[in-house]
Amino acid sequence: MSYQQPSSIITRKARVWPEISEETILLPTTPVLLNSQSSSILTFIFLSLVGLAIYGYMFTHFNATGEVRMFLLPCLATGGLIALALFSISLVKTIRILLRNRLLLQQYLQQLQEVENQLKACHWQERQAYMNLDPPLSRYDFKSAIYEHLEIIPLLQNTYNEQNSSLWARQPADRDFMKVRIGLQERPATYKIWTPQEQGQIITSRRLQVYKDYAQALLEKYSTVHVPLQIDLQNQSPITIYGPGTKLFIARELLHAILSQLVYHHSPEDVRIIILAPRSQERTWQWAEILPHTVRYDARHSSAQMEEAFQAHTCAIGTTAIMDQLPLISRELRRREVLINDMQPLQKTALHPHLLIVIDDFETAGDLDQSVAALPNMVIPPSHPTQYRRSHLSVSPLRRPELALALNHGAQLGVSVLCVCTKQSHFPQNSQLLIDLQQEDPPKLLLNKTSLLPQHKIKTKRQKKAESTETMPQVNIQARIRQLTQPQRPTQQCMQLDGIGLDDLRSLALRLQSLQSSTNQQLELRTQVDIRSILDTPIEIQTYDPFVLWSDPLFRTPQPLLRIPIGLTFGDEVQYLDLLRDGPHGLLIGQTGSGKSELLQTMLLSLAFLYKPTEVNFLLLDHKVGLALKPFGQLPHTLGLLTQMSSAAGWQRFTAMLRAEISKRKTFLNEGRSIPHLVIIIDGFTEIVRYAEAVLDELLMIMGMEPELGLHLLLAAQRPEGIIYNNIRDAVQYRICLRCATPQESREVLRRTDAADLPASIPGRAYLLHGDNQLDLFQAARVTTPIYEDRIAAGQSRLNSLLSLPFKGK
Ligand SMILES: Nc1ncnc2c1ncn2[C@@H]1O[C@H](COP(=O)(O)OP(=O)(O)OP(=O)(O)O)[C@@H](O)[C@H]1O
């Protein structure tokens, strides 16, 4: 296979991390049942019967006078009545207790079912989130309980173009840079399940015992999750895959799977791979020769030389190729060492790009050259490997001095080593992580007794658990991941190892071959954007006629309606916000001076430019005097502008207005009439909610209404504030975040801290988190730009001038 020039450019997108719940879910307390006193009723019935029997006996057998008999009769009747009354009382009491216990049990069951639903949701969310981050490569057992209810697109079924936001997404600053999955593991869930202490004396009943077993089953089923198991190629190097005997085939499949994951998630800009493999494995490594990640990396290459370098790759198969490759590796390692030594201690950063040296096993006869008799005892000084270069490779590359720096100081130099070994004696020196495919005992050579202990414990626990829970998938442990340098860290168990076939490898390499990464640094992001420059047809203010534009099919985007330009992103691409696709509801957060008011104006003006008042209406609210929104009150689109909403009365006015509008819309809808969309902008909503708490419910109610009513809320605030924000956040679909005061605030809005790093000197710079989780960085357009300012007649309000123009012909 020969290397082709790349044809498609991949611009890597900003990443959005999935939300994984860390909440603590409480299992309900076992109810304290009351004693039903059924035994006391029986005693009572027995005693009453005995009493009546005695009376009866006396009445019939004693030869008493008629007077005595007369006396005995009422006694007998009274006694009988008292007994009956007492019996009824105690029966009622018992029934009450039984009913109460039944109610308690019903409530307990209901609580357990609610908790189960909550646990199910968290459990699924966590599994789906991790599976989205690390999907399988091609094949997976979709019938397995591990994948139940998950939506999975294997990496090979993805598109390999600009639209794929996960391709080459991992960048050096990301927490999962150089981390790749090797299979699946079972580990404790991120959310916690809390079991309450049992209170008081527990009276057990059969039903209660069934419910307690149910609670226990919930605890066992949901306290762990099956998620991908990752290894850290950057920080755990050297990494050895130990596949003795027949396991060598699986070890090589795993090695291929690791590399496939690596080249999918990392761009060749950030990661370069060098492969050293024996001639016997030529067929299994051919796919790697066309990967953009194995194009020879040489820091000294000028861009003019790059084209020539495209022809050379770093996939060295066979001893001759390896002997050519080793001096190059050695030279690069030395260069990195010099660079690191020259850096000030505080400046020391990981060197770029990260190099991964992959070494296959050299065990088969003929994999290594025969030692040359003339140079049997020659020792190569590590400082001059190339000068003493031999033309034969008689030991595995792992033993070669050229690789000593990579094995001993790889972490500092930005170099990792990943190898396959079939013998413990071949493990590289300083091996940090061992992926042990051997089913039996761990290698004695590297593991002392202390490291066996936790593993033994885990195994026993797992066995016990497997016996007790039938619902859990029963999978064999296929590999054990041991930290060799930190024996105190528990061994991880891999339940399903990844692997990939040669056909899939070839298909992956062919798709990646035509791609090239483009860095965001190459593309500029402007600092000033005039709103007129982002509209599809340039607007000439002096001759602008709104009616012409509203009916111009080229100018407006007919479908989907409500797609408005709001700024420019990298490479002068227009940034759109689609209130239908991304919405209907959204948030705009930005600290004071970040450009919030300007952006609101831009959005309103974009909508007014593009859509007629019969298509879009506005309802505007500002808790302050509303200087920014005031000019828009004159637009024919605007139903109302309410300012100084700092009292409950103001809010009541708004709700009354809104309710009337909603009921009008409902009537219109029932009559089959079309209704314009209503964009409701609330500036300073957290302040308004503080004055009138009922506002929050009202807002949430509006957000829950059916989309046919055409309501679109845009809530603007300076910061995401506590509980108010939390409730709102879940109800909105898109979020625009200008500069935030703190990383925490940014995280609350975007799930990442980047908005806190937006430059304060560039107002209007913002992130847009779309409804489908895509994140875009853009520069918001302005209604009034300094350029435009000069062109407006002196003394005229800048904004009013612009706003009056669109409707002059009305
Ligand atoms: N998109 C933009 N491009 C360039 N400059 C901008 C942009 N948006 C705002 N600015 C500049 O930043 C200043 C502050 O903007 P703006 O008044 O919109 O901030 P704000 O976030 O609404 O502040 P506050 O919350 O205090 O009202 C503006 O006067 C303008 O000079």
Task: Kindly report, residue by residue over 425-470, the tens digit of the pLDDT.
Answer: 889 888 899 999 986 544 443 333 333 233 333 344 444 444 444 3
Weakest mean pLDDT among 18-32, 363-377, 600-614: 363-377
For ligand 1, whether the C-beta of 597 sits within 6 Å is yes
| Residue nearest atom 16 in ligand 1 by C-alpha distance | 595
For ligand 1, atom 25, the nearest C-alpha belongs to 592
Task: Report the run of H or E that residue 715 belongs to, with start and end.
Answer: strand 711-717
Residue pair 174/271 in contact by the 8 Å Cβ criterion: no
Q: How far is the CA of 598 from the centre of ligand 1 (A)?
A: 5
Residue nearest to atom 1 of ligand 1 (CA): 764
Pocket flag, ligand 1, residue 684 (CB < 6 Å): no
CA of 591 to the centre of ligand 1 (A): 10
The finding on whether 528 has its CB within 6 A of some atom of ligand 1 is: yes
User: For residues 483 and 544, which has the higher predicted lDDT (pLDDT)?
Assistant: 483
Q: What's the rounded mean pLDDT across residues 280-298? A: 88
Burial degree of 11 (CB within 10 A; 0-12, 13-18, 19+): middle
d(CA 602, CA 631): 12
pLDDT at residue 251 in the model: 94
According to DSSP, residue 360 is labeled -
Mean pLDDT of the chain: 79
pLDDT at 64: 57
Rounded to the nearest whole angstrom, what is the distance from the C-alpha of residue 738 to the centroid of ligand 1?
10
- For residue 427, give every residue at least 6 positions away whose Cβ sits within 8 Å of its Cβ, in sequence order, or none: 240, 242, 421, 434, 443, 445, 446
Q: Residue 798 above 50 pLDDT?
A: no
67 or 522: which leads in pLDDT: 67
372 pLDDT exceeds 70? no
Q: Who has greater pLDDT, 451 or 663?
A: 663
Kindly tell me if the per-residue pLDDT of 348 is higher than 60.
yes
Report pLDDT digits (tens) over 305-325. 444 444 578 999 999 899 888
Contact 403, 357 (CB under 8 A): yes
**Distance from the alpha carbon of residue 739 to the mean position of ligand 1, in angstroms:** 11
Cβ(583) – ligand 1 distance below 6 Å: no
Q: How far is the CA of 733 from the centre of ligand 1 (A)?
A: 24
How far does residue 595's CA lie from ligand 1's centre (Å)? 3
Asked if the ipTM is above 0.90, the reply is yes
Pocket test for ligand 1, best of 525, 598, 605 (most atoms within 8 A of CB): 598
Question: Of 543-557, 598-612, 644-658, where does mean pLDDT reach its minimum?
Answer: 543-557
pLDDT tens string 172-208: 888 899 999 999 999 999 999 998 887 665 667 888 8
Mean pLDDT of 215-241: 94
Asked if residue 336 lies in contact with residue 413, where contact means CB atoms within 8 angstroms, the answer is yes
Q: Is 591 annotated as a binding residue?
A: yes
Question: What mean pLDDT comes out for the span 23-32?
Answer: 90
Q: What are phi and psi of 80, to 5 degrees?
A: -60, -45
Reported as a single tens digit per residue, the pLDDT across 575-628 is: 889 888 887 999 999 999 899 999 999 999 888 888 888 888 999 988 777 677
476 or 534, which is more confident: 534
Query: Is the pTM value of this prediction over 0.80?
Result: no
Q: In the prediction, which pLDDT does 6 show?
A: 52
Give the model's pLDDT for residue 800.
46
Token pair 């030279």: residue: 331
Phi-psi region at 119: left, alpha or beta (left = phi > 0; alpha = psi -120 to 50) = alpha
Considering the chain, what percentage of its residues have pLDDT values greater than 70?
75
Whether the CB-CB separation of 421 and 445 falls below 8 Å is answered with no
Q: Is the CB of 183 under 6 A from ligand 1?
A: no
Q: pLDDT: is 519 or 252 the higher one?
A: 252
590 lines ligand 1 (CB under 6 A): yes
Q: How far is the CA of 700 from the centre of ligand 1 (A)?
A: 29
Contact 285, 506 (CB under 8 A): no
Pairing verdict, β 8-11 and 616-622: unpaired
- Cβ of residue 787 lying under 6 Å from some atom of ligand 1: no
Does the C-beta of 396 come closer than 6 Å to ligand 1? Answer: no
Residue nearest to atom 24 of ligand 1 (CA): 592
What is the whole-number distance in angstroms between the Cα of residue 751 and the centre of ligand 1?
24
| pLDDT band, residue 387 (cuts 50/70/90) | very low
- Segment 270-283, tens digit of pLDDT: 999 999 999 999 99
Residue closest by Cα to atom 3 of ligand 1: 764
The per-residue pLDDT for 370 is 75
Q: Is 595 in the pocket of ligand 1 (CB under 6 A)?
A: yes
Q: Which atom of ligand 1 is nearest to the CA of 567?
A: 1
Two tokens at 53?
């029997």
With pLDDT > 90 as the criterion, what percentage of the chain qualifies? 30
Helix (H), strand (E) at residue 325:
helix 319-342
- Dihedral of CA atoms 731, 732, 733, 738 in degrees, nearest 10, equals -150
* Enclosing H/E stretch for 779: strand 775-780
Distance 597 CA to ligand 1 centre (A): 6
Cα–Cα distance for residue pair 535/554, rounded to 1 Å: 11
* 410 is known to lie in a ligand binding site: no
Give the containing element (helix H, strand E) for 121: helix 66-133
Query: What's the pLDDT tens digit per position in 730-756?
Result: 788 999 999 999 888 888 888 888 888
Q: Who contacts 131 (Cβ-Cβ below 8 Å, separation ≥6)?
A: 147, 150, 152, 227, 228
How much is the average pLDDT of 153-162? 87
Across the range 279-291, mean pLDDT stands at: 93
Maximum average pLDDT range among 157-161, 451-455, 539-543? 157-161
Atom of ligand 1 nearest to the CA of 764: 1
166 is in an annotated binding site: no
The band of 133, judged by pLDDT with boundaries at 50, 70 and 90, is very high
Q: Kind and range of the H or E element at 25?
A: strand 24-26
Kindly report, residue by residue over 66-82, the tens digit of the pLDDT: 666 666 777 777 777 88
Q: What is the pLDDT of residue 807?
A: 41
